[in-house]
A and B are shown apart, each in its own frame.
Chain A
Amino acid sequence: MVGAIKQNETSSKVHPLKFALWLIIVSIIMMFAAWTSAYIVRKEEGNWLDFSLPGNLIVNTVIIVISSVFMQLAYGAAKKDELAKLKLYLIGTFVAGLGFLLGQWQAWSDLVDRKIFFGGSDSNPSGSFLYVLTGVHGFHLITGLIFVLIVLISSHQFKVHSRNMLRIELCTTYWHFLGALWVYLFAFLSMNH
């Protein structure tokens, strides 16, 4: 098997780890598909608290898109062996990702200030769903940040360059997915508020 991977001659012409990552992405999609469809079903049943989304979510969306752009630039830099740029862009990705998380935290504080709670006697599923969707996405974003950090560290060890792209390819795919997932969630939430 090791031989097969070294020659990049797998029966699908795709590296197994890339393939596995896509399958993991599919399973994450299924999780959120379950919640967003549950959201719709539950909303239809009534007894649904209507409230406006925290205002800064649109800012967060812009930030995460910017982080994706940085990630893509980092990928391009690695491909062209521009290692200094690569590190810079990866730091950009990481900082923007961190900024997004802080922004989400801010959105939660905003909700709490408006007395829209996750649980307790005053809570309504419409608010709880918002916390679950943003919370679980945030959790996955933290795993993404750890991945970016790993790539950043290995780029300092000269392990990320044009002939060693697997790690950053995987990271780019995952990071773009997390960004796209948030854009989907934001669009979904905006349409339902």
Chain B
Amino acid sequence: MASTDISLTHDVHHAHDDHDHDHHDQHFIFKYIFSQDHKVIAKQFLITGIIWAFIGGALSTIFRLQLGWPQATYDWLEPILGKWIEGGKLSPEFFLSLVTMHGTIMVFFVLTAGLSGTFSNFLIPLQIGARDMASGFLNMLSYWFFFLSSVIMFLSLFLETGPASAGWTIYPPLSALPQAIPGSGTGMTMWIVSMAFFIVSSLLGSVNYITTVINLRTKGMSMTKLPLTIWAFFLTAVLGVLSFPVLFSCVLLLLFDRSFGTSFYLSEIYVAGEALSNVGGSPILFQHLFWFLGHPEVYIVILPGFGIVSEIIATNARKPIFGYRAMIGSMLGISLLSFIVWAHHMFVSGMNPFLGSVFMFLTLIIAVPSAVKVFNWLATLWRGNIVFTVPMLFSIGFVSLFISGGLTGIILGNSTLDIQFHNTYFVVAHFHLVMASSAFFGLFAGVYHWYPKMFGRMMDDKLGYIHFWLTFIGVYMVFMPMHYVGIAGFPRRYYSWTSFELFSKFADLNMYISLAAVIAWLAQFIFAFNFFYSMFRGRRATQNPWRSTTLEWTTPVNPGHGNWPGAIPTVYRWPYDYSKPGAADDFIPQHIPYSETASSNLPHEKDLA
């Protein structure tokens, strides 16, 4: 491609040279707003994600108030919620909107875009030794599509008929018929439009991540020398490319059903005694299409966490990761399995029981690679020289939450048990531990760990420890009791249970959960303060504050455009040479050749460069 005229990346230095009088403004706009630099785009994703996380958390806090104190009056929330408070009570339709938007925001906007968008963008070029992403322009588009989708979703919160309220899974017919629930009017349309842009953003991002990992690795960086973070982001992107288009197909048909009178998902429906003309559709078809995305989606959320945690645990245990290839293998296995288990979300949908048992079997197999991962993390920690930094605590917290939530996954994966547990708080407790809280812990661990690389400063440790303990204890206080509530049969998404005498003895427990949820949410403000304060006032970071082996720590403290001022380092060894016997230091970075470490080389490494 010697003379190709398609410029793949816009070279900032050139733009700099032929500047004109308004150079200063342009400089700012292209440096911080319409930037094509992967590090800036990562920060854009991160900060947008943080804002979304607080909105999503606020929504859950409001509905937890309702669930914990169903008799209370909420006049004091009227300044914020306006007409959604009717006579001091939360309106039931609003409750459903809250639940829906909490799910949508957290799953897609925070834990998909905020997590993958941030760390894939930030770490892929830095850890594989590339100047930038394969296409900086597509990368920029990816963020701005996400931004557009965020704006639309945010605006839908202020609609008079309310945002989408059919649950984040938007099952038709509820989501398809505006006469069924107010939120299925304009709110649902905006949900679909927003998600369409979101899918475009996610695809552009994923295409870029995969291309970059495959094509732009530095010399010596073979696939088996990649840090596990990169493997995790790579597989996350593969899942995204394969599953998000299916969600697009799925919601496009829903859009046609809603706005063009087709009957893909609708058949023989009576609303308020009136028969609809739609004939021949199948709502189960929607569930199949939706969960074909929906299940890989939960791995899109958790895989980056796997990678981040593996990296941080090895660094802070000062030990090589236990079973590097098994870690890659188990991630590959999980990625593959994630595509053939979707119907375990539909055990009680009237599906053929034989099909159910096939999906049950496949689902339970996921326990194997998951157990491999947990075993390897624990084995890495075992007898390590553990440094309890804040990111390390969050990583250990991740492993703890993943185990606690994973165990109930084995229970829920059984189609017979699911008859009892389906759509109860047991499910809510399960996935909030194994997927939501874990992924959040992975996100926090990543932010604390790579903050010095992002902003050149350290986050405050003491605030970090307080944040960790409040969050860790808070999360368990919320979700452990929720299992009991679920076993007792509480269905999820119910506005109130006060009319069921049976459930009245759980009122205290629900109040306890709500109290814990409020505390855990408030604790996040410590993080927000720490995050923004440290950006300007944090202790200045050294080049390699965690004494880590990967390539990003060989860049200057504040890497400029192109990441390395000189040549990109060549890679000679795997990323986990911690505490190697005979080595001068307890870590050997990836770019140190074997010829310089004669004292620690193993017999087969003697002849290597």
Chain A positions near chain B (C-beta within 8 angstroms): 1-6, 8, 10-12, 14-17, 19-20, 23-24, 26-28, 30-35, 38, 41-42, 45, 47-49, 118-121, 123-125, 128-129, 132, 136, 154, 159, 163-164, 166-167
Contact = CB atoms under 8 A, between A and B. Distances in A.
Nearest to B259: A119
A126 to B, nearest CB: 8
A10 B515 CA distance: 54
B243 A30 contact: yes
B249 A166 contact: no
A129 B248 CA distance: 15
B1 A2 contact: no
Interface string B1-36: 111111011010000000000000000000000000
A121 B277 contact: yes
5 nearest interchain CB pairs? A119-B261, A121-B277, A1-B131, A16-B134, A34-B249
6 contacts: A5-B4, A15-B215, A23-B206, A26-B241, A34-B246, A38-B264
Contact of A10 (B138, B216, B256): B216
Contact of B215 (A11, A31, A132): A11
B351 to A, nearest CB: 11
A38 B251 CA distance: 13
A122 to B, nearest CB: 9
A38 B556 CA distance: 52
A166 B411 CA distance: 53
B260 A10 contact: no
B141 interface: no
A101 B261 CA distance: 25
Contacts of B221: 11
Interface string B246-272: 101110110010001111100100000
Given A6-B1, A23-B211, A163-B3, A34 B292 contact: yes
A12 B241 CA distance: 19
Mostly, the A contact residues are helix
Nearest to A27: B245
A124 B280 contact: yes
B138 A30 contact: no
Contact of B130 (A1, A38, A136): A1
A27 B2 contact: no
Interface stretch (B82-90, B281-289, B496-504): B281-289
Given A121-B261, A123-B263, A128-B264, A20 B211 contact: yes
**Which residue, of A4, A163, A164, has the highest number of chain B Cβ atoms within 10 A?**
A4
A132 B211 contact: no
Contact of A27 (B241, B250, B262): B241
A80 to B, nearest CB: 17
Contact of A125 (B214, B244, B252, B263): B263
B235 to A, nearest CB: 14
B112 interface: no
A16 B215 contact: yes
B477 interface: no
Given A17-B135, A38-B288, A124-B263, A31 B1 contact: no
A1 B246 contact: no
Contact of A119 (B11, B250, B256): B256
Contact of B253 (A17, A132, A166): A132
Nearest to A121: B277
Q: B interface, how many residues as a size bin? A: 35 or more
B256 A132 contact: yes
Contacts of B285: 38, 41-42
B279 interface: yes
Interface in B187-233: 203, 206-208, 210-212, 214-217, 221
B264 A20 contact: no
A19 B214 contact: yes
A136 B246 CA distance: 13
Contact of A166 (B1, B216, B260): B1
Q: Which of A12, A28, A30, A121 has the most CB of B within 10 A?
A: A30
Given A47-B279, A124-B280, A31 B249 contact: yes
A45 B261 CA distance: 20
A125 B1 contact: no
B215 A19 contact: yes
B571 to A, nearest CB: 11
Contact of B207 (A3, A20, A42, A154): A20
Given A4-B216, A47-B267, A15 B245 contact: no
B6 A167 contact: yes
Contacts of B552: none
Contacts of B281: 125
B9 A123 contact: no
Contacts of A136: 252
A157 to B, nearest CB: 9
A26 B3 contact: no
A31 B138 CA distance: 21
Given A10-B215, A119-B261, A123-B262, A17 B8 contact: yes
Nearest to B206: A23
B245 A128 contact: no
Contacts of A34: 245-246, 249-250, 289, 292
Contacts of A8: 1-2
A41 B355 CA distance: 14
B132 interface: yes
B262 A128 contact: yes
B242 interface: yes
Contacts of B262: 118-119, 123, 125, 128
Given A34-B289, A125-B280, A16 B4 contact: no
